[in-house]
Amino acid sequence: MVEHTYTYGTAGGRPLPMLAFLPRHHRGRLPAVLVVHGGGWNQGSPEGFASAAVALAQGGLAAFDVGYRLDGPGRAGWPDQTQELVSAVEWIHGHAPSLGVDAHRMGALGSSAGGNLVALLALSLGHSPPSAPTPLAAVVSWSVPMQLGTRGIPGWLRDDLGYYLGCAPAACPDRWRAASPAAATTHSGTAWLLFNSRSELIPLAGAQAMAQARHRAGDQAQLVVYPGTRHAGEYQGRAMAPTVAFLRSHLGLAPPHRS
């Protein structure tokens, strides 16, 4: 595996980092996978989610572990953070030949808050004009807030969402709906693999609503529910193999060889 560090853009005068993990000795152009960390939209880093990117590269995929400008008091994350991911996709498209990747075969893995951004990215690219980057062929989400502003959201997450969206649900319901992937009704052309634990931090109802919404829109969507309370990276050891297999399948690679 080969690791590189790039800057794919700037936000607020600060560089936006990208860690690239590429399989060694590969032939031809590889599919690319955007990897986006969680942390309530206000913390976390690419380095904190690098183990998942490394596992994808070990599974034969080119993994691009991206950072985004974190939100906080007085600076909402939505919609700028999603637009930064669009810039990351555009950067990969522009550098695909030198990276040795096929940007027309691109997927994504998002964890928790980062998965919300990935889902919004996929939905926006799915109905973008022809001049926009190629839509994501496959998305995997681990414990992602998909349905915002509904009952059952714990108080700490509601606080994080308030910073992310810059307002309370009653003050700007349209923003909360627009940032809820499960509220989207358009066909994205993306295949979805959604993971959630039954009794974890992120209510399972959001993942269920997302799967139902994608089915109604004509997308392929599969929901995997683990027992217990583990959240996102806490079940990475269990979810990583099916994540790699799903992305390989939908990005045009044969299943990984088993000795």
Taking the domains of the chain in order of start, what are their residue ranges? 2-250
pLDDT given for residue 1 in this prediction? 77
CA distance from start to end of the chain: 20
pLDDT tens digits for 40-74?
999 999 999 999 999 999 999 999 999 999 998 88
pLDDT tens digits for 155-196?
888 889 999 999 988 899 999 999 999 999 999 999 999 999
The alpha carbon of 4 is separated from its chain's Cα centroid by a whole number of angstroms, namely 20
pLDDT tens digits for 84-132?
999 999 999 999 999 999 999 999 999 999 999 999 999 999 877 666 6
| Fold of the domain spanning 2-250 | Rossmann fold (3.40.50)
pLDDT of 18 > 60? The answer is yes
pLDDT given for residue 25 in this prediction? 77
pLDDT given for residue 132 in this prediction? 66
Predicted model pTM: 0.95
pLDDT tens digits for 140-153?
999 999 999 876 77
CB atoms within 10 A of CB 48: 16
